[in-house]
Amino acid sequence: MSWTTFHMSGSYSQLIITVVALICTVLLFEYSDIDYVIQSYFYNFSTREWLLDSNNATLDLLFYSGIKKVFIGSILFLLFALIFLRRFDWVKNNTRGLVIVVLSSFAVPLTVGALKGATNMPCPNQLLIFNGKYEHVGLFEILPDQTSRPATRCYPAGHASGGFALLSLLFLFKSKKAKIKAFVSAMFLGWSTGGYKVLIGDHFFGHTMITMLIAWLIVLLISILVDKVSGYIFNKNIRI
């Protein structure tokens, strides 16, 4: 068995585990009150205010807009490197990992964004219980009049998807130490943004958990696809 075959076998195992974990997590949060219990700790029912103010420009810069700009700039640089800096040794020696990172960084946010549009579940601050105007709408709930389903686009958490997409860095770095740093950094960015959105009432905790698992699932699928394409190119001796 070649290293590539062994590596892909490991990816398939992780893929199955992630799918099972995703299904279990969706069902857990959908058929329990865990999200509401957690969210209640961050909302003052007397003053009708969330723990953090969504209008605070500094917090927005630190945990949303600033992170978003750095993420976009970094991915655009990696894409530029793949296209125009291919002669450099670092790019040549890490092409597979760079391709996985760039593809994941586009695919994860786009997929999560599409899911948000399809599910149309309200954010916490849009629900009646938290002084909003909508009743709770379950993920699998079918309303008598589909036009009455609010166009709220709050499930799963879109803002955290960029940070979790960087879990793809695990396929870029080779040493265990570097992989650990990449994992910690991606989780920190994903949960910093996701946690901020929870504390201002824009998302439930479960929304971010679902996004994290979806992101890792997509990263695994992309890594398998890249390995298959790379294997085909290598076997056919195609120059790129």
pLDDT digits (tens, 9 = 90+) for 52-98: 999 999 999 999 899 899 999 999 999 999 999 989 999 999 999 99
CA distance 173 to 192: 23
Would you list the domain boundaries of the chain? 3-236
pLDDT tens for residues 105-145? 999 999 999 999 888 889 999 999 999 988 888 888 876 55
How many whole angstroms separate alpha carbon 135 and alpha carbon 96?
47
Query: Token pair of 199, please?
Result: 């504390």
Cis omega (within 30 of 0) for bond into 150: no
Per-residue pLDDT of 20-38, as tens digits, reads 999 999 999 999 999 999 9
pTM of the model: 0.90
Which residues does residue 50 pair with via DSSP β-bridges, in sequence order?
43
Query: To the nearest 10°, the Cα dihedral for 218, 219, 221, 226?
Result: 140
